[in-house]
Structure 1
Amino acid sequence: MSDLFRWSPDTALCLGAQPVSAGDASPQARALCSLRDAIRAEGEILCGPEGISLLPQGTPGFLRLRSAGTTGQPKTIRRSHRSWIASFEVNRRTLSLTPADRTAVMGDLAHSLALYGAVEAAHIGADLHQLAGLRPRSQAQVLSECTVTVLYATPTHLLHLAATGAALPAVRHILCGGGRMPAGLRAAVARMAPNAVLREFYGAAETSFIAWGDGTGPEGTVGRAYPGVEIEIRGEGEIWVRSPYLAEGYVEGDSAETRREGGFVTVGEMGQMDAGGFLTIAGRRNRMVTIAGQNVFPEDIEALLLGEPDVTACAVVPRPDALRGATLVAVVDGMPDPLREARLLALCRTSVGPLAAPRRIVTIADFPQTVSGKPDLRAIAALLEAP
C-alpha cells in the first residue's frame, strides 16, 4: 500500500457537469485545482476554510485538516495519507470501485467528508464532480445527466436532493455521514435512487470510519464496525475505537473530549453496542444536557424534527433555567409559522416526553451553518441571546 496520495491522470475534474478549465477563478475550481496540485507535489497538505495549500516545511505523506468548529475554537488535525489510503482500499474492494465510476461530492472541500470523497476518487482514477454551491434541482440534473455512480453526502444534502423528486437510476453507492439520518430519509432515497445502496456511516475527523451499515440492522443503529475497526464501550457508554485509520492528533487547538489510551481513542461520543455488534449513537457527551436530573441528548430531538418534510435544518440548544437547571430550544429553518411551530412542539412532547421536549421552537430564515453544512451552534446561541 502506498504512503502517498496519488492523483490519477484518468480523473476528470468537473464543476457540476462542466470540466474545470485552467482559467476558472471560482472558489470551487481553485479548491479542486489546489488539491490536485498539492497531491501531485507530494508535500504536506493543509486543508481548511481558508483553502488548500502546501506547508513550506511540511513532511510528505501527511495531511492537516483545519476546522472552523461548531462549538469551540478552531482545531487542526494531522493525519497520514496512509490512514486514508487504507480505507480507500477497503472501499475499493467492498464497493467494487473502479476508474469507470463517477464520484460526486456535495459539500465544500473544507469539509472532511467532501475532501475524503474527492481524494478517494482521484486515488482510484474515477471522475470527480463537485456539486457544492448548486441548488438541489441543479445537483440532481448533474447527477442524472453525468450518470454519477458514487455519491458522498450529508443527511441534509440528501433531504434536499430527495425533495426534488429526481430519478437517479445510475447511482449505485451513496455514502452518508456528518450527522444522524432522520426517519423516512432512507425510504425517500430508495425512491430517488432505486439501484443504490445507501450506507450510513459514523465517524469523526479524528477517527475516520468507525461503523457503517446499509439499513439492514436494528432500527436506530448505524451498523457494525467498519472493516479493521475495534470498538469498545467503556464506563457509562463512551465509545472507544482502535484502527489503522486514526489521525495522529491535534497540531492546533485541542479537545478535552478526545483522549487516547492503549492504542484506542475516544472523541467523547456516547452509545451502546448490541450482541450482534450493531452500534447505536446517543450523542456527544459535551452536548448532553441534564434537565431535572434526566440526561437528554439534543441529537435525538434534532433527528426527530429533521424527519418532518418541512424541516431541512435544525439545532437543539440548551438555555439556563432556575427550576430545572436547563431547558431546550429547537431552532429550525424557514419562515415563522405558529401552526407549524405548535405541531413540531406537540411532536416532540409526544415522542420524547414533556420534560425532555424543547420549551419552544424558534424559526430562522437564514439558518446559520458551518462550511460543512452543520448547524453553527455558536452563532445560533448568539442569536438566541440577542435582545
Structure 2
Amino acid sequence: MFRIHPQAELYLPGRRLPLDATAEDLSQDGCVRFILPKPVGDAVPQLLTCLARGQEFCIGQATGQPAERSGEAGFFQCSSSGTTAAPKLIRRSHRSWIASFEVNSRLWDLGPADVYAVVGGLQHSLSLYALIEGLHIGARVSILSDLTPRRQWVELQGIQPTVLYVTPTQLRQLGDAAGDTSLPSLRRLSVGGGFLDEETKCRAAQMFPAARISVFYGASETSFVTISDDTCPPSSIGRAYPGVEIRISTPEGADCGPGEIGLIWVQSPYLFHGYAAGQSPDTRWRDGYLTVGDLGYRDGRGNLFLTGRINRMFTVADQNVCPEEIEAFLREQPNVSQAAVLPRQDPKRGAVPVAFVDAALGRQGLADLQAECRRKLGTMKAPRKLIRLKDWPRLSSGKTDLRQLAQRLEELT
C-alpha cells in the first residue's frame, strides 16, 4: 500500500504540515472516505489519515455518488476529466501507482533529495499522483493548488523544486506568469493530460533551462502508456512506457501493421480496477488488454501516433473524420491559440466539421484561415464554418469543455 517515507516533508504556503497528524474521523471504518478538494488545508489532513490507515478514499465527489459506500484497503478513487462526457470515478489499487513510482525512481533517479511542487487541484489524478509519489519516495512536497499561476511562480522561486508534473494548460499559465524569469533548479518536467505544442515546449525550455522534458500519454483508466523525449518524432506521443505492452487492432480484432490506424489496446501493471461511478461504452477489456477508445498507429520504430478518439470521430460523405487532426492543424497556424472541432448535421453529407477557435484574427483573417484549411486538408475535412471565441470554455483540469461547445453549436444552429 501507499506509504509515507520517513524523510518526506509536506508544505502548504507558509507552513509545514505534520505527517503524523490524524484528521477527525468523519466516516465509519470500511467505507470510502469522500474528501472535498477545497480548501486544500482541510483536504490534505484527511488524505493523510486515509494513507496511514489504508482506507479507501476519493477526493471530489461525483454527482449521484452515495454519501457512504463500502471501501477496501489498498484502493482509492479519482475522477476522469469529463472532457466529452460526465466525469466518472476511476477505482484503482495502490499497487497500480506504486509500480510506476518504482519505474520513475529508476528512470530519473528520484529520491529524498528531490523537491516536488503540486500546482493542480488534488481532485485531478495528475496532481494527486505527484503528491503521493513525492511522499512515497521521501521528497519534500509543496502544494500550491489554491494559488493563482502568478503567485505559484513566486512560490516556486522560493521552493526551488526539482520535479514538476503539469498539464500543457498549466504550463502555459506558468509561462505567462514567469515573464523573462526562469527556474534553473528544475531537473525533471513531466507533462501529461493533453497535447504539448512546439511553442509551449520551447517556452518550457526557457523557463526550466536545466530540466529534461518528458511528455507522457495515458488516461485515468490506464495511467502511463507511452513516454516521449527528444529522440521521438515531434508528432509522436512516444514509445511504450516500461512494463507496457501496446496492440493496435482493426475493428475485427486483427493486429494492424506499421502506419495502419486502429484501436489502441494496452496491457500493464498500471491499469485501473474498474469504475466506481459512471460507465463508458468505449472502455473495454479483451484478453487482459484495455482500450479507452483511442485511435492511433505505430511506425516501424515503435513510436505511437494518436489520431483521435473513437467517440469523437464522425462521418462526412461516408468518410471518417477525426476532429483532432483538424484541431492540430488549426493550432499550428499563426495567431491561433486554441481550436475545437465538432460535427454539425448536414442533409447532403450527413455531417460537416465546424471549428471554434481562440484566435487573434479579424474577419479577413478567418476567411484566409478557412481557405488554408481547404488547401491543406481538403473539402471533406476543412471546417465549413470558423467561430471565434474569446471566453474559451475549460474544465477545472484546464482541458477544453467540449460538452459546453456542443451546446453552443446547437444554439447557433
When normalised by structure 1's length, the TM-score is: 0.89
Q: Which residue of 2 aligns with 1:18?
A: 14
Match of 1:40 among 52, 59, 76: 52
Q: Is the 8 A contact 2:80 2:220 kept in 1?
A: no
Letter in 2 for 1:369: R
Q: Is the 8 A contact 1:144 1:170 kept in 2?
A: no
Output one character per residue of 1:351-380: Cα deviation in whole Å (capped at 9) or x when no partner.
433431222332333322222211111122
Match of 1:30 among 28, 34, 42: 42
Letter in 1 for 2:378: G
Return 184-193 or 277-286, whichever deviates more.
Answer: 184-193
Give the C-alpha shift of residue 61 in structure 1: 0.2
Distance 2:342 2:54 in 1: 43
Letter in 2 for 1:373: G
Distance 2:17 2:357 in 1: 39
1:332 aligned to 2:329? no
Distance 1:357 1:19 in 2: 53
Give the C-alpha shift of residue 90 in structure 1: 0.3
Q: Which residue of 1 aligns with 2:170?
A: 157
Q: Is the 8 A contact 1:151 1:173 kept in 2?
A: yes
Match of 1:178 among 185, 193, 204: 193
Q: Which residue of 2 aligns with 1:376?
A: 401
Give the C-alpha shift of residue 336 in structure 1: 8.2
Structure 2: where are the runs of 5+ without partners? 24-36, 251-260
Q: Which residue of 1 aligns with 2:206?
A: 191
Structure with max Cα Rg = 2
Letter in 2 for 1:269: D
Output one character per residue of 1:139-162: Cα deviation in whole Å (capped at 9) or x when no partner.
332222211111111112222323
Q: Is the 8 A contact 1:154 1:177 kept in 2?
A: yes
Give the C-alpha shift of residue 137 in structure 1: 3.1
Aligned positions of 1:186-225 closer than 5 A: 186-225=201-240
Aligned positions of 1:93-132 closer than 5 A: 93-132=106-145
Q: How many aligned residue pairs are there?
A: 381
Output one character per residue of 1:132-183: Cα deviation in whole Å (capped at 9) or x when no partner.
3534333332222211111111112222323443312111111111111223
Q: Is the 8 A contact 1:332 1:361 kept in 2?
A: yes
Give the C-alpha shift of residue 337 in structure 1: 4.6
Q: Which residue of 1 aligns with 2:296?
A: 271
Match of 1:234 among 246, 249, 256: 249
Q: Which residue of 2 aligns with 1:297?
A: 322
Structure 1: where are the runs of 5+ without partners? none
Return 334-343 or 321-330, whichever deviates more.
Answer: 334-343
When normalised by structure 2's length, the TM-score is: 0.83
Identity %: 45
Return 334-343 or 62-71, whichever deviates more.
Answer: 334-343
C-alpha RMSD of the superposition: 2.8
Give the C-alpha shift of residue 321 in structure 1: 1.7
Match of 1:248 among 273, 282, 296: 273
Letter in 2 for 1:110: Q
Q: Is the 8 A contact 2:134 2:140 kept in 1?
A: yes
Aligned positions of 1:285-364 closer than 5 A: 285-307=310-332, 310-333=335-358, 337-338=362-363, 341-342=366-367, 344-346=369-371, 348-364=373-389
Letter in 2 for 1:352: L
Distance 1:117 1:377 in 2: 26
Give the C-alpha shift of residue 94 in structure 1: 0.4
Output one character per residue of 1:4-57: Cα deviation in whole Å (capped at 9) or x when no partner.
111235433334x4336699x952323333322321221111133569x99663
Q: Is the 8 A contact 1:270 1:282 kept in 2?
A: yes
Match of 2:72 among 59, 67, 83: 59
Distance 2:145 2:328 in 1: 23
